[in-house]
Each structure stands twice: as C-alpha cells, then as structure tokens.
Amino acid sequence: MSNVLVVIGHGMVGHRFVRELRARDRDRSWRVVVLAEEPVPAYDRLHLSERARGAPEAQLSLPGADFASDDGVELRLATRAVRIDREAREVLCADGARVRYDALVLAAGSRPFVPPVPGHDLPGCHVYRTLADVAAIRAAARPGRTGVVVGGGLLGLEAAGALQALGMRPHVVEGAPWLMPLQLDEGGGAVLGRQVTELGVAPHCGVGLKSVDAGPDGTASSVTLADGTVLDTSLVVFSTGVRPRDELAADAGLNTGERGGFHVDGHCRTADERIWAVGECAAVDGRCFGLVTPGYRMAESVASTLTGETPAPLSDPDLSTELKLLGVAVASFGDAHARTAGAMEYIHTSGAGDRYAKLVLDATGNTLLGGVLAGDSSSYGRLRSLLGHRLPGAPEGLLGAAL
C-alpha cells in the first residue's frame, strides 16, 4: 500500500518536485495529492511577461502540468490549504476538505510585498506575480499613457517592459542609486540606466515613492515621489520584493526564518520529520532564495530523499540572473558583488561606456567567482558555466564578443 504525499502549492518548484518524484518512484510507493490555490496548473512564471505581451497562455505551459496521463497524482486546482494539523497529519483546505498525509511538502512560493505607503491599495495598483495579475494589468493598460512601476529590480524592469509592450510609457521608481541594485554594481547599473532610457523607459533612481494619490473617482490618478516629483498615472505596478508564503507555519507550530519562510535544514526538512519545504517559501538554514534554480535543487533533493536516497546537503546555490527584456542585455552571476574574502574585481568598459563587464576573481586572479555584464551579455552562458573554475585564458578573450 502506498503512502500519501501532499504537496501544498503548484508553482514552478512544486511542479518540478512532483515530476522528479514521479520519475524516481518506480515502485509507486507514494500517491501524490497536489493542492493548488491558483485555478490553473503550474505554468512558466519566468515567462509571465510574454503573456503580458499577448502570447497565448498555452505558451507558458509546463510539460505534464495537468498530470492528465499520470494516475499517481491528483491535482486539486483552486484549492487553498488553510491549516496543517500535525498531530492528525492532516491538511485542511478552504473548501473544508481534509487530506491526510504521510509526508508533506510545502511549495507555497512567495507573495509580492507592497510597501505600506499611502494609497498603495487604491484601485489601479497592481502586483506582478500570477497570470491573474497579468490579466488585470492588461485590462487596465491605456496605450499612450504613463504607467508607473515601483521597484527597479529584475521583475520591475520586466513589468516596465510589459507596460511598454502594452503601449504605455513606463516610469520606474527605484530607491537605490541605480537599477537592479541586487544584481548589478554601479558601473553595470549605469549602463543599464542609459540603455533603458534610450528604449523609452524613464528611470527615477535614488528616490522613494511617497504616495499613490486618488483622483475624484477614488482610483489612482498620480504618484508622488519623495523628491516631490508627481507622475500622472492610473496604473501602478508594485514590484518591491516578495515575502515567502509561510502563513501556515504559526498555527502548525513550525519555525520560520528570520526573514520569513519555513525554516528547513540542508535537506529541506523542517523540525517535523514528515514535513519539507522547497522553493521560495523555504528558508534553507535560514536563507530564502527568490530564484527558480535554487528551488529546483531543493525539489530534486527532497524527491530523492523521499525515494530512499541520501542526497548531499544543498550547496550554495547559483544566483545568476539575466535580463532579456527591453532589448537590454544585463546579467549577473555568482559572487557579483565580490563578497568572497580575498576576491578581486576585473572590470572592462568599452564602446563609449556602452559595454561593461566585470569578472570577480579569487585571490590568485585565475579562478572565476562571479561577474556582471551590461550592454552585451553574449558571454553569459560561458562565464556562468566557468564559475568556480580557472579561467581558460585572458579575460579579454573570454569576454570575446562582449568587447
């Protein structure tokens, strides 16, 4: 008789987890129940912006996402888990259903964080995380008008690109002195800022959002920045970071990390040996990761544990990112900010400052630890694959086309 494995959340990582588990579980020791809050099966969130630009939803589908041909998996869509009863080993759903588990994997992802500025919840304010969010933005977009994206990180720029594709004139408000501050250093940020400006996106860096202001009809009609600038707009997209969805932790008596997320060990296990957490909702040794690749590593690890293997604890994840939208090439990989002890930085700027490349090297100057590319990221794949390895030759040759 097989045991029941309940998965809460059917996002990118939850789906990868179930696929991994099904591929490994040859003797079908688990029967899987997936509780999915969204009304659709998991989809490719990374390419959400393509949907914003009008690509059909089908283009975002993930292989095998509906488990139609897999009788070992029961996918319950539009079903939110509201409580975990660890004693009874049951998950309670919003529709009143109870599902007993032998093992429970939390894959609830994150929710957008919206700063509590005045007016943040007026009609006209949006977030950018789900297909439903994108549908709302598409419905609200007005070609030719100004749209304001709050937050100049990777997602904020994606949102700006989406607004532009919808015919709007996007402005991006970023509190840090340059765009994509988490990934880029000052030099890379400068190249990015120049290039997005040329492409018609107006960045406002080093200034925070003071308020979203309502018009006579009670919907958003403008935003005010900390420096007094007023931008007239009826569409505001908040892209100011995410918070792990750990709201089931408190009731269930599960620990959370300092910055939220279900606290798990290097094997993604909570203090309860029957409960794991993977993806953005997991705080591995206290740390959450807002990217999909670390989540995939977690999914693989838990899938192999549950099928009787003993995987090595997770190693430091790869936090590389590349922005492909807006025709701007920027990428950051590995230790982009040279935080490794003894690391040195080698920075090459060319093309009248249009191309910027930084390599972070170890103390010997020959091992690649990370880097930043802006203006031309054609060497990204190569450099990323060389992380932790000795450079094959002089940096100029490696940056190759980037020069």
Partner 1 sequence: MSDADVDTAERIVVAGYGPAAHRLVERLAHRGHGGAVTVLGAEPEPAYQRPLLTSVVDGTLPSGALRLPAAPEGVRLLLGVTATAVDRERRLVHSDDGRSHPYDRLVLATGAAPRLPDLPWLHGSDGQLPAGVRVLRTLDDTAALAGAAPVTVVGGGPLAVEAVLALRRLGRDVTLVHRGPYPLDRHLDPRAGELLSARLRALDVDLCLGRTARAYADGKLRLDDGRCVAAHDVLLCTGAAPRDGLARSAGLAVDGGVFVDDELRTDDPRVHAIGDCARPAGPAGSYGGHTTAWEQAETLALLLTGDDFPPARSRPVLRLRARELDLVRLGAPDGADETVVLADAARGRYARLSLRDNRVCGAVLLGLDRAIAAVARLYQRGEPVPADRLALLLGAAPEYAGEELPGDVVVCHCSNVTGTDLEAAWQAGARTPAALTAATRASTGCGSCGDELRRWCTEFVRREEAVSA
Residue selected from 152, 188, 257, 279 as contacting ligand FAD according to rule CB under 6 A:
279
- 53 lies in the site for ligand FAD, by CB under 6 A: no
Kindly state the smallest distance separating residue 70's Cβ from partner 1, in Å: 18
Please give the structure tokens belonging to residue 82. 């509201």
Kindly state the smallest distance separating residue 346's Cβ from partner 1, in Å: 5
Choice between 53 and 348, CB closer to ligand FAD: 53
Kindly state the smallest distance separating residue 214's Cβ from partner 1, in Å: 39
Q: Which residue has the tokens 């997770």?
A: 314
Choice between 254 and 357, CB closer to partner 1: 357
- 38 lies in the site for ligand FAD, by CB under 6 A: yes
Choice between 123 and 392, CB closer to partner 1: 392
Q: In what order do the strands lie in the sheet with 73-76?
A: 73-76, 30-35, 3-8, 103-106, 275-277
- Which value, to the nearest 10 degrees, does the dihedral of the CA atoms of residues 50, 54, 59, 61 take? 80
- 261 lies in the site for ligand FAD, by CB under 6 A: no
Site for ligand FAD in 301-340 (CB under 6 A): 321
Choice between 62 and 77, CB closer to partner 1: 62
Residue selected from 5, 6, 33, 35 as contacting ligand FAD according to rule CB under 6 A:
35
DSSP symbol at 340: S
> CA 12 to CA 9: how far, in whole Å?
9
Residue selected from 5, 6, 11, 160 as contacting ligand FAD according to rule CB under 6 A:
11
Kindly state the smallest distance separating residue 102's Cβ from ligand FAD, in Å: 19
C-alpha distances (whole Å) from 27 to each of 1, 30, 105, 134 are 11, 9, 20, 41
Q: Which residue type does 326 have? A: L
Residue selected from 6, 18, 33, 49 as contacting ligand FAD according to rule CB under 6 A:
49
Please give the structure tokens belonging to residue 233. 């707009």
- 108 lies in the site for ligand FAD, by CB under 6 A: yes
SS3 state at 343: coil
DSSP 84-153: EETTTTEEEETTS-EEE-SEEEE---EEE-----TTTTSTTEEE-SSHHHHHHHHHH--TTSEEEEE--S
Binding region for ligand FAD (CB under 6 A)? 8-14, 35-38, 45-46, 48-49, 80-81, 107-110, 128-129, 155, 158, 245, 279-280, 290-293, 295, 321
